[in-house]
Amino acid sequence: MTYGLTARQHHCLSSIRDHVERTGVPPSYDELCVALDVASKATVHRLIKALEERGHITRLVHHARSIALVDQAASSVNERVVA
């Protein structure tokens, strides 16, 4: 388990990683509701906010599918610098 995360936050982070690996785009809140088996987008929003505060993801407010994993964002920047 990732240090400093609750079990639910860890599950959310894993679901985001899995979705990005499978589809190439971050999941929507609706897709996360299904993956996490929760009925409320507010619950997903709280989980996303907690992951962002802990530095595991970044996001753009008011943009669809704006979640980016911090480790992927860093590697993307490094690839551009090296290339």
Euclidean distance between CA atoms 11 and 8, whole angstroms = 5
Euclidean distance between CA atoms 37 and 39, whole angstroms = 7
User: Domains of the chain: which residue ranges?
Assistant: 7-82
Q: Average pLDDT of the chain?
A: 84
Q: What is the pLDDT of residue 2?
A: 56
| CATH of span 7-82 | 1.10.10.10
Contact status, residue 67 vs residue 19, Cβ threshold 8 Å: no
- What is the pLDDT averaged over residues 74-78? 44
Q: What is the pLDDT of residue 73?
A: 52
Euclidean distance between CA atoms 39 and 54, whole angstroms = 24
pLDDT band for 61, please (50, 70, 90 cuts). Answer: confident
Burial class (CB in 10 A: 0-12, 13-18, 19+), 29: middle
Is 58's pLDDT higher than 90?
Answer: yes
Q: What is the pLDDT of residue 77?
A: 38
Is 70's pLDDT higher than 80?
Answer: yes
